[in-house]
């Protein structure tokens, strides 16, 4: 396993003051636990309004800051949008792109997600590109072809290099917030497929070193068998990232899984 990545996606949760309490709790629990989560790339992605505060609180702690979206343009007449340049200057180093909730509620297309990823890479952010099939697509046996097509369109114009890496998150839409999950074996096989597809597009070396995260109802209980699978390089966590203890337990599981390999 490469250095594991655990990302907490807070979605539209936590005000400014609630962000302060949650981050302070995460930091103090982390100190109490005295654990070796330096072995894990840990990222917190709060709402936009909390980013400046979170950037101050997380500075120097080893926990990185991520955003949940960005625009592909640098600036301009795009009411309500935030650019990758703004995020980078505001202390973010990661950005989640193409989450299924954005695909569904904001009608984001793979092409837009690809442009956003290009902007993120340009401004030195690590994009986490989310892909995943819906329930009916899995039930009708189309999960693989849907994910393959998403990967193809999202990676088409991307050129990661040694200093500019991208991350893929496989998040089956039906597993998000539902308590349901594919089996670890099904996750493993989808991750292998994603790696093969990415290697075909970006080259063998880039494909081999591409971190692929799993997301969808990850908890401290479901994380261990998933993180134990080859080709699973970390997890993207929604609900369970909103409690300091559950989030930190998942980080510890990732550290443990990395220590075993």
Among 176, 187, 210, 232, binds ligand PGA (CB under 6 A): 176
Q: Is 99 a catalytic residue?
A: yes
Which of 147, 127, 237, 122 has its CA nearest to residue 198?
147
Complex with ligand PGA: residue 133 or 171, whichever CB lies closer: 171
Compare residues 66 and 160 and give the one whose CB is closer to ligand PGA: 66
Nearest to 132 by CA among 84, 91, 180: 180
236 contributes a contact to ligand PGA by CB under 6 A: yes
Phi and psi dihedrals of 28, rounded to 5? -75, -40
What H or E segment, with its residue span, contains residue 152? helix 143-155
* 108 counts as binding ligand PGA under rule CB under 6 A: no
Binds ligand PGA (CB under 6 A): choice among 68, 112, 217, 252: 217
Catalytic residue among 101, 108, 137, 171: 171
Residue 16 known to be catalytic? no
Q: What is the largest CA-CA distance in the chain?
A: 50
| Residue that has been written with the tokens 């369970």 in this structure | 240
Three-state DSSP class for 103?
A: helix
Which of 8, 132, 211, 239 binds ligand PGA (CB under 6 A)? It is 239
Give the interface segment with ligand PGA, choosing from 37-45, 110-118, 148-156, 213-221 (CB under 6 A): 213-221
Q: Which residues are catalytic?
A: 99, 171
């Amino acid at each position: 396993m490469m250095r594991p990545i655990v990302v907490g996606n807070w979605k539209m949760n936590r005000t400014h003051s609630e962000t302060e309490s949650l981050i302070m709790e995460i930091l103090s629990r982390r100190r109490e636990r005295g654990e070796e989560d330096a072995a894990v790339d840990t990222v917190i992605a709060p709402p936009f309004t909390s980013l400046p505060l979170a950037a101050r609180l997380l500075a120097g702690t080893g926990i990185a800051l991520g955003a949940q979206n960005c625009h592909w343009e640098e600036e301009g007449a795009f009411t309500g949008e935030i650019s990758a340049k703004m995020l980078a200057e505001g202390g973010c180093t990661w950005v989640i792109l193409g989450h299924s909730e954005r695909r569904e509620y904001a009608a984001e297309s793979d092409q837009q997600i690809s442009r956003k990823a290009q902007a993120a890479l340009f401004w030195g952010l690590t994009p986490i590109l989310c892909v995943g099939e819906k329930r009916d697509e899995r039930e009708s046996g189309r999960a693989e072809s849907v994910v393959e097509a998403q990967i193809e369109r999202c990676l088409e114009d991307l050129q990661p290099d040694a200093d500019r890496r991208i991350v893929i998150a496989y998040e089956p839409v039906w597993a998000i917030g539902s308590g349901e999950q594919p089996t670890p074996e099904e996750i493993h096989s989808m991750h292998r497929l994603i790696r093969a597809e990415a290697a075909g597009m970006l080259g063998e070396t880039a494909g081999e070193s591409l971190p692929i995260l799993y997301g969808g109802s990850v908890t401290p209980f479901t994380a261990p068998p998933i993180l134990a699978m080859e080709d699973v390089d970390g997890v993207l966590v929604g609900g369970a990232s909103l409690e300091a203890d559950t989030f930190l337990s998942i980080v510890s599981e990732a550290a443990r899984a990395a220590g075993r390999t």
